[in-house]
Structure 1
Amino acid sequence: MGGCISSAAKAGRVLSSRFSSRRPYPDYNKAPRKLATFRAAAVVKDPSGNNIHEKYTLQKELGRGEFGITYECVEKETGEKFACKTISKAKLRTEIDVEDVRREVEIMRHLPKHPNIVAFKEAYEDKEQIYLVMELCEGGELFDRIVAKGHYTERAAVMVTKTILEVVKVCNEHGVIHRDLKPENFLFADASENSDLKAIDFGLSIFFERVDERFNEIVGSPYYMAPEVLRRNYGPEIDVWSSGVILYILLCGVPPFWAETEEGIAQAIVRGHLDFSRDPWPKVSKEAKSLVKSMLDQNPYSRLTIQEVLGNIIELILLY
């Protein structure tokens, strides 16, 4: 099964993308003319300062993203280690990009302390960069553990999904839709088998005021998008769908909706056909398969709610 995720999920390991409001997928060869002249000014509201180097020493690189680099950093006074996500202001090419970063900081400040959400410490901003200092997680991505294992045991898969849903529950209770749940956006606190799993990226998250509020912007990562996102009419229910996709992958090692292109993936998602015929699905309990089906219900209004999924998961755990 390890080869399956290498050829499917790993091959499709794409950065979270903000898709064009005019077409379903981005055209990277065409950009509005104003991008060349746009220059972000102040981005973060109430930063801790404009010189992060007075308080922290930036050390080894931990990873790279669309807008910048994440480093390990050390607080000079205490010697405590943190992660520092840097964002190049030169890469914030539109007001939408600026608003995304501003909202990401606001959401991380807004969410309560939770064992499965990376703790945000503070933000700095100078003329060239934004620096987000947060809890350091050293256990690697959930994605990489899936690749290493091929797939999880049923009980382990359900427990991981329960953790992810607890994050979704907290987000929704505080008026936040995550919009980009995927294994790459969860890190383990350390390398131990029983390490805490933490959500780390709220770059595409958004505030909502009412449960019936609808959004029409296509954002996220192709494999994990709910069909209503592609139809441009969605709400908090999309996070249950994405969690269901993750549960499917945890159980078998491959995405439920797979194609060679983003357009093909979108078509597969809208068709909604789930394949439970191949190994290891015949060995997966009917209760677990029923849970996957209920989370991947095409209709967001009949899809299980967060509370219902968590209730079903508790019942499943009692069976093991």
Structure 2
Amino acid sequence: MAGGELFDRIVAKKFYNELDARDCIRSILSALSYIHHGKIAHRDLKPENLLLATLTNDNDVKIADFGFAKKCSTTNCLKTQCGTPGYVAPEILEGKKYDYAADMWSIGVIMYIIIGGYPPFYEDNQNLLFKKIKRGDYEFHPEFWNDISPEAKDLIGRCITVDPKKRISCADAVSHPWMGRDKRILSGQDLAKNLQQFKRFNAKRKFKAGVKTVMAHNRMKNLMEGLRAAADEENGNTDSKDGPPSY
């Protein structure tokens, strides 16, 4: 995937409008529709798992990381609680059985970010975050959403619907009226303000990912040092050298 992460490509844009967002989301929905048609639920849709095949085509989006993916041949056939905070569906948090509809919730959250520039559910405290998700407690803030097409907000709302039985399917989302909206109209909907918000959100997301990587590295380093120390003690090698502590 030579193009890297989709969100990084959006951040690099100098100009951004609703047509750009719509075409990008159409590509994601097309890929997810293919997956669902094969009776597979992804179960971990998030920005890090949306990649671009090339450096030149902004809409050649690929869905990656099928570590949590599962065959789902019947309704509500899944029960494992998995996913990523902020993108996980309320039925999963509630411990209920679920199916493909959980992916559509995640797509709704991603759509909200791609258009609005920030997530619909955000709390530093994870318990509070999960409470908001379970209630479907979000809004379209006028500062960023007043000029967005009603059809775009309707599609997001149909995805971020707490009751999975009432949530739109991927096949219906692909044929939603917003997908067929006139290109000239959508290209005139400038998202410059939203793009600036998007850049701030993405920078914070990347920073958190970097912190987690460093923490994981340090945990592994400490584990290996502990194992070596235990092995030395077992072999009778108790020599030590003075020096600074290892971090």
Same fold flag (TM > 0.5): yes
Structural RMSD (CA): 2.0
Equivalent of 2:18 in 144, 154, 157: 154
Residue 93 of structure 2 is aligned to residue 230 of structure 1:
yes
Does the Cα contact within 8 Å between 1:224 and 1:241 map onto a contact in 2?
yes
Paired residues for 1:113-124 under 5 Å: none
> Kindly tell me: are residues 308 and 195 of structure 1, through their superposed partners in 2, closer, same or farther at Cα, counting changes over 3 Å?
closer
Match of 2:140 in 1: 276
Q: CA-to-partner distance for each residue in 1:186-237, whole Å, 9 max, x for gaps?
A: 1111222535211121011111121x13322210111111111111221111
Does the Cα contact within 8 Å between 1:152 and 1:250 map onto a contact in 2?
no
Q: Greater strand percent: which structure? A: 1
Residue 109 of structure 2 is aligned to residue 215 of structure 1:
no
The offset of 1:148, in angstroms, is: 3.9
Match of 2:5 in 1: 141
Match of 2:180 in 1: 315
Q: CA-to-partner distance for each residue in 1:109-136, whole Å, 9 max, x for gaps?
A: xxxxxxxxxxxxxxxxxxxxxxxxxxxx
* SS of residue matched to 1:223: coil
Match of 2:196 in 1: none
Does the Cα contact within 8 Å between 2:22 and 2:179 map onto a contact in 1?
no
> Kindly tell me: are residues 232 and 189 of structure 1, through their superposed partners in 2, closer, same or farther at Cα, counting changes over 3 Å?
same
Q: Greater helix percent: which structure? A: 2
Return the letter of the residue paired with 1:225: V
Partner Cα separation in structure 1 for residue 168 and residue 16 of structure 2: 23
Partner Cα separation in structure 2 for residue 186 and residue 143 of structure 1: 8
> Kindly tell me: are residues 145 and 169 of structure 1, through their superposed partners in 2, closer, same or farther at Cα, counting changes over 3 Å?
same
Partner Cα separation in structure 1 for residue 136 and residue 72 of structure 2: 27
The offset of 1:265, in angstroms, is: 1.6
Q: Which moved more, 1:137-146 or 1:150-159?
A: 150-159
Partner Cα separation in structure 2 for residue 292 and residue 169 of structure 1: 16
Does the Cα contact within 8 Å between 2:5 and 2:52 map onto a contact in 1?
yes
* SS of residue matched to 1:283: coil
Partner Cα separation in structure 2 for residue 267 and residue 145 of structure 1: 32
Return the letter of the residue paired with 1:213: N
The offset of 1:151, in angstroms, is: 9.6
Give the TM-score taking structure 1 as reference length. Answer: 0.53
Which 5+ residue runs of structure 1 have no aligned equivalent?
Answer: 1-136
Residue 62 of structure 2 is aligned to residue 198 of structure 1:
yes
Does the Cα contact within 8 Å between 1:139 and 1:187 map onto a contact in 2?
yes
Return the letter of the residue paired with 2:92: V
Which 5+ residue runs of structure 2 have no aligned equivalent?
Answer: 187-247
* SS of residue matched to 2:33: helix
Paired residues for 1:258-273 under 5 Å: 258-273=122-137
Does the Cα contact within 8 Å between 1:152 and 1:252 map onto a contact in 2?
no
Give the TM-score taking structure 2 as reference length. Answer: 0.68
Match of 2:29 in 1: 165
Partner Cα separation in structure 2 for residue 164 and residue 238 of structure 1: 15
Match of 1:181 in 2: 45
* SS of residue matched to 2:103: helix
* SS of residue matched to 2:175: helix
> Kindly tell me: are residues 274 and 152 of structure 1, through their superposed partners in 2, closer, same or farther at Cα, counting changes over 3 Å?
farther
Q: How many residues align?
A: 183
